[in-house]
Amino acid sequence: MEFFATCPAGFERLLANELQTMRVPHVRPLKGQVSFEGTVVDAYRVCLWSRLASRVIAVVARGGARDADELYETIGNVAWEDHLPAGATFAIGARGTNQQLRNTQFVALRTKDAVSDRLLARTGARPVTDTTSPDLHIEARISRDRVTVGIDLSGEPLFRRGYETARGAKSPLPSLRPDYAAALLSMAGWSRVCKEDLPTVVIPFSGSGTLAVEAAAWARGQAPGLLRGRWGFEGWAQHDADAWNDLTGEARNAANGTCGVRLVLSDTRAGYEAAARQALRAAGIDLEPLRLADCPSLAEESIPVALCADLSWVDAESLADKAATIAHLSGGVARLPSQTMAAVLTKDHLTDLVLGKPGFALDVIAGKDDASIRSYGSLDQAATKQVELAGKGTIDVLVPASDQFARRIAKVYRQRRKWAAREDVSCYRIYDADLPDYAVSIDLFEGSQTPGRWLQIYEYAPPKEVDQDLATARLLDVLAIAPAVLDVKPQDTFVRVRTKARGGSQYADEARHPAKQRPGRGASGRPALPPGAHLVDEGGLTFEVNFSSRLDCGIFLDHRDTRAMLREMAKQTKGSKRFLNLFAYTGSGTCYAADGGARHTTTVDLSRPSLDWAQRNMERNGFVGKEHEYVQADVLAWVSEQRHTKNRWDLIFCDVPTFSNSQRMRTSSFDVQRDHAELLIGVSRLLTRDGTCVFSCNLRTFRIDEAALLKAGVAVEDITAQTIPEDFSRNPRIHKCFLVRRTPRA
């Protein structure tokens, strides 16, 4: 008889090798399947023992299928009375199309009609279809102008082993399909390792335990199909029950219940060990001879070890997740024998930085994404190196030069924390591209009302001529070293990529992360914290920060001294003490002005979420009431409108974006270098006669147009040097700051 076993794309050669080890005759890998010949016993053996196949189909006919009539004729010529017992139900599965047969549902319907008509003519009874639980499942596969018709002997897919439902509640950890787990084990040489006295597999990310179950079952010779309760061939008229019973009996005897196997499991996610034990128990694997360990040192053991890691669950967009994953993987690799064979399921090739050049890579699909199973012949080429952290042990890095970064950040941190303690500063910059190859900035934040320490890391996008893999490796080293040196948990480290200036629309993040429902009130009556938000202190005030919702966390640390200056200027302001904050973002400048005695504040921004955030900051610091107003508006248009009113302000803060092109702006875009003179002329007209505007921007190449401003009656004074905090002193171009006033004749 002729059969074919289907499998996931990319598994064809692995499956062909597996069938050859079963001594199945005439194995031939095709696209998405492997064909073979033999007896029904050979097909039963594949059903019972294959760890990689999805289904096993017994071919009953091949023929023409140029159109619906020829398809009907080919199907109708099959002796279905020899396959479908009297009274049995059936279902049709159809795959593939051609020019005339363009719909698989129509192919299935035409096939059903042909089968039913044949049986009605031969037996006098029309069979009943059952799409949910048929006794017999018939497959019709169209390829060009021909159809292959077969009986699905497996029933449910073979990767449904039976232990998945037996273990009860589903694990909250990501689950790997058993056939993918088997492919990983196969490419890691697990079949060879199983010949050792104590087969050892290292699973750095054990997840819900599928890899542990497949490895243990393989090591003790347990057939993967032994736990299944139902098979597709049981409703087949040609089923050989005696042969099947003999095979299952042999499989039960072959399972070595006392065979020892060492499972070295670890994970960065909580609950992994309980999930593994539950999965093993559900698979009927006795835990007594198994050893579950966290991360033992195996380097001194001269035995073959297999390492398997499923990294397909790692968020492709989250560099922090990738860094934590790579760091955990490299830390485990450093303690393994050099002859360890490894295989990793991943959506990128970053594991090559840890494990060396792969000997073979298999392109597969993980979920809906492209992925690969990468096989590493041994860890002799592993690229990790241990770096000494001052007083904090060692850490594995991918780039040897990262030891310079580790020493640099440790030195700066020692100096900076002394300064911070002396100045009562709890949120400050520690590093800003001090080493050109490690082009990142690192800000440390400490919680105020609740304990906590967080790192905000920005990577400056590397030039195109820089090797991208090397740049990524350096960033991953930064994300491993910085939390360790600065005593911050890896999960409290956040990384973003920014261009050299805060370019693009000021509100681009808001477009990517739409505003959620506004948070309510806490028990104290103060605003409740939104998800992911924390509270920090600065200058005796409390501010909300959020490291996961936007590009910027809610407070610009380089303007710490500027905000303090605003408070002092508010104290010295005479008269109405009115304060205006333009492009206000989260309103930190408004809080400082109110703390300095501003009686009336106006906070203007185009973003509604930013204004809500600003109002929460004000209310947390006790500044409530109708004298504090929040205006959602295009600032440029609003300034133009206010010039025609009697509204004037004694103190204005205008911290402009470098560029903005929000669709909600009345003008097409705002460019600070191009448009600042027109803006400042308009803002100056909103000042009282003795009023002052503090104007700032962070375009490092910014040049203010003094001539045009002076001609319009606007005087400017560059105070940038006075507004650069100590922790930004290495980079005095972090922002520009000016005092803007009206000249006497204006």
Highest mean pLDDT among 257-261, 522-526, 711-715: 711-715
Q: Cα 208 to the chain's mean position, in Å?
A: 18
147: closest CA among 55, 60, 36?
Answer: 60
Domain spanning 171-221+256-376: CATH superfamily: Vaccinia Virus protein VP39 (3.40.50.150)
d(CA 201, CA 188): 9
DSSP element (H, E) containing 742:
strand 736-742
Mean pLDDT of 412-419: 96
Phi-psi region of 135 (alpha: psi -120 to 50; beta: other; left: phi over 0): alpha
- Residue/partner pairs of 405-413 with CB below 8 Å, 24 or more apart: 405/435, 405/438, 405/474, 405/477, 405/478, 405/481, 406/481, 406/485, 408/434, 408/435, 409/442, 409/481, 409/482, 409/485, 409/486, 410/485, 413/485, 413/486
Extract the tokens encoding 430: 């520690």
Q: Does domain 2-152 fall into CATH 3.90.1300.10?
A: no
Q: Is residue 198 within 8 Å of residue 261, measured between CB atoms? A: yes
173: closest CA among 135, 212, 136, 145?
Answer: 212
What are the DSSP calls for 238-276, one per residue? T--HHHHHHHHHHHHHH--TT--EEEEE--SSTTHHHHH
- Residue 504 scores a pLDDT above 60: no
- Residue 499 scores a pLDDT above 60: no
Query: 3-state DSSP helix/strand/coil percent for the chain, to nearest 5?
Result: 35, 25, 40
- Residue 497 scores a pLDDT above 80: no
Binned at pLDDT 50, 70 and 90, residue 453 comes out as very high
Extract the tokens encoding 159: 């990767």
Highest mean pLDDT among 286-300, 391-405, 480-494: 480-494
Q: Is residue 703 within 8 Å of residue 506, measured between CB atoms? A: no
Q: Is residue 596 within 8 Å of residue 653, measured between CB atoms? A: no
Residue 464: CB partners within 8 Å, gap ≥ 6? Answer: none
d(CA 636, CA 651): 18
- Residue 403 scores a pLDDT above 60: yes
- Residue 665 scores a pLDDT above 70: no
* Level-2 CATH architecture, domain 385-498: 2-Layer Sandwich (3.30)
Is residue 353 helix, strand or coil? helix
Average pLDDT, the chain: 89
Least trusted range by pLDDT, from 81-85, 395-399, 412-416, 447-451:
395-399
Mean pLDDT of 21-50: 96
Least trusted range by pLDDT, from 32-36, 126-130, 323-327, 489-493:
323-327
- Identify the residue with better confidence: 618 or 506: 618
Extract the tokens encoding 238: 């040609």
Extract the tokens encoding 704: 């203010």
- Residue 503 scores a pLDDT above 50: no
d(CA 470, CA 400): 11
Extract the tokens encoding 371: 């992925």
Please list the residues that pair with 344 across neighbouring strands: 309, 374
Q: Is residue 598 within 8 Å of residue 617, measured between CB atoms? A: no
pLDDT at position 317: 64
Binned at pLDDT 50, 70 and 90, residue 515 comes out as very low
Residue labelled with tokens 């520009």: 736
- Residue 622 scores a pLDDT above 90: yes
- Residue 283 scores a pLDDT above 70: yes
- Residue 512 scores a pLDDT above 70: no
Going by their DSSP bridges, the two strands 659-660 and 670-671 should be labelled as antiparallel
Binned at pLDDT 50, 70 and 90, residue 112 comes out as very high
351: closest CA among 304, 309, 385, 402?
Answer: 309
DSSP element (H, E) containing 680:
helix 672-684
Is residue 307 helix, strand or coil? strand
Mean pLDDT of 446-456: 91
CA distances from 469 to 319, 458, 473 (A): 13, 18, 6
Q: What percent of the chain shows pLDDT beyond 90?
A: 67
d(CA 544, CA 537): 9
d(CA 413, CA 656): 31
Phi, psi values for residue 403, rounded to 5°:
-65, -30
CA distances from 612 to 7, 607, 660, 692 (A): 53, 9, 20, 27
pLDDT at position 125: 93
Phi, psi values for residue 197, rounded to 5°:
-65, -40
d(CA 13, CA 522): 60
- Residue 381 scores a pLDDT above 60: no
**Tell me: the pLDDT tens digits for 365-376?**
998 899 999 999
Q: Cα 332 to the chain's mean position, in Å?
A: 21
**Tell me: the pLDDT tens digits for 182-197?**
999 999 999 999 998 8
Q: What fold characterizes domain 533-742? A: Rossmann fold (3.40.50)
386: closest CA among 365, 402, 368?
Answer: 402
**Helix ranges (DSSP H) in 157-255:** 163-166, 178-187, 190-193, 210-219, 241-254
Q: Cα 107 to the chain's mean position, in Å?
A: 40
**Tell me: the pLDDT tens digits for 316-341?**
666 667 777 877 787 677 677 777 88
4: closest CA among 14, 23, 26, 17?
Answer: 26
Phi, psi values for residue 594, rounded to 5°:
-65, -40
Mean pLDDT of 448-457: 90
- Residue 258 scores a pLDDT above 70: no
Residue labelled with tokens 């196949």: 53
CA distances from 24 to 4, 19, 274, 312 (A): 11, 6, 39, 32
pLDDT at position 271: 87
Mean pLDDT of 618-640: 96
- Identify the residue with better confidence: 522 or 512: 522
pLDDT at position 687: 97
Going by their DSSP bridges, the two strands 341-346 and 306-310 should be labelled as parallel
Edge to edge, what strands does the sheet with 55-64 contain?
Answer: 28-30, 33-37, 2-6, 55-64, 146-152, 136-143, 89-95, 128-129
pLDDT at position 559: 97
Please list the residues that pair with 671 across neighbouring strands: 659
d(CA 682, CA 670): 15
DSSP element (H, E) containing 616:
helix 608-620
Phi, psi values for residue 621, rounded to 5°:
-100, 10
Each domain of the chain, given as residue ranges in start order, spans: 2-152, 171-221+256-376, 385-498, 533-742
pLDDT at position 667: 60
Q: Is residue 518 within 8 Å of residue 612, measured between CB atoms? A: yes
pLDDT at position 623: 97
| Fold agreement (171-221+256-376, 533-742) | yes
Mean pLDDT of 645-658: 96
**Tell me: the pLDDT tens digits for 51-107?**
999 999 999 999 999 999 999 999 999 999 999 999 999 999 999 999 999 999 999
Least trusted range by pLDDT, from 21-35, 126-140, 163-177, 339-353:
163-177
Q: What percent of the chain shows pLDDT beyond 70?
A: 90
Cα–Cα–Cα angle for 277, 283, 286, nearest 5°?
Answer: 65
pLDDT at position 663: 55
Extract the tokens encoding 737: 């700051």
Q: Is residue 409 within 8 Å of residue 387, measured between CB atoms? A: no
Dihedral sign for Cα 21, 24, 25, 31, please.
negative
Binned at pLDDT 50, 70 and 90, residue 383 comes out as low
Residue 118: CB partners within 8 Å, gap ≥ 6? Answer: 75, 76, 78, 80, 81
